[in-house]
A = this chain, B = another copy of it.
Amino acid sequence: MSTAKPRYQELKDFIIEKISSGELQPADRVPSENELVETQRVSRMTANRALRELNDEGYVERVAGRGTFVSDYRSRSDLLEVQNIADEIARRGNRHSSRVMWHSRQHARGEIAKALHIEQGTDVFHLLLVHYENDVPVQLEDRHILSSFAPDCMEQDFDEITPSAYLTGIAPLQEAEQAVRAGIPNQAVRKHLDMEKGEACLIVIRRTWSKGRPVTFSRLHHPGSRYELTGHYTPPGSTRTQSTEIVGLENLRQ
Interface residues of A (CB under 8 A from B): 12, 16, 56-59, 76-77, 79-80, 111, 114-115, 117, 172-186, 189, 198-203, 205, 207, 219, 222, 224-225, 227-239, 241, 244, 246-249, 251-252, 254
Contact = CB atoms under 8 A, between A and B. Distances in A.
Nearest to A173: B235
Given A57-B237, A174-B234, A248 B181 contact: no
A232 B179 CA distance: 9
A233 B79 contact: yes
A128 to B, nearest CB: 13
B181 A229 contact: yes
A180 B199 contact: no
A64 to B, nearest CB: 12
A179 B235 contact: no
17 contacts: A12-B237, A56-B236, A57-B237, A59-B236, A79-B235, A175-B232, A175-B235, A177-B232, A177-B249, A178-B233, A180-B229, A182-B200, A183-B224, A184-B199, A202-B202, A219-B254, A231-B231
A201 B186 contact: no
Nearest to A184: B200
Nearest to A243: B177
A58 B219 CA distance: 31
A224 B115 contact: no
A221 B59 CA distance: 37
Contacts of A180: 180, 202, 228-231
A63 to B, nearest CB: 16
A116 to B, nearest CB: 9
A58 B249 CA distance: 30
Given A76-B235, A198-B198, A200-B183, A205 B58 contact: no
Q: Which 5 pairs show the lowest CB-CB distances between chains A and B? A: A57-B236, A182-B224, A200-B200, A182-B202, A114-B248
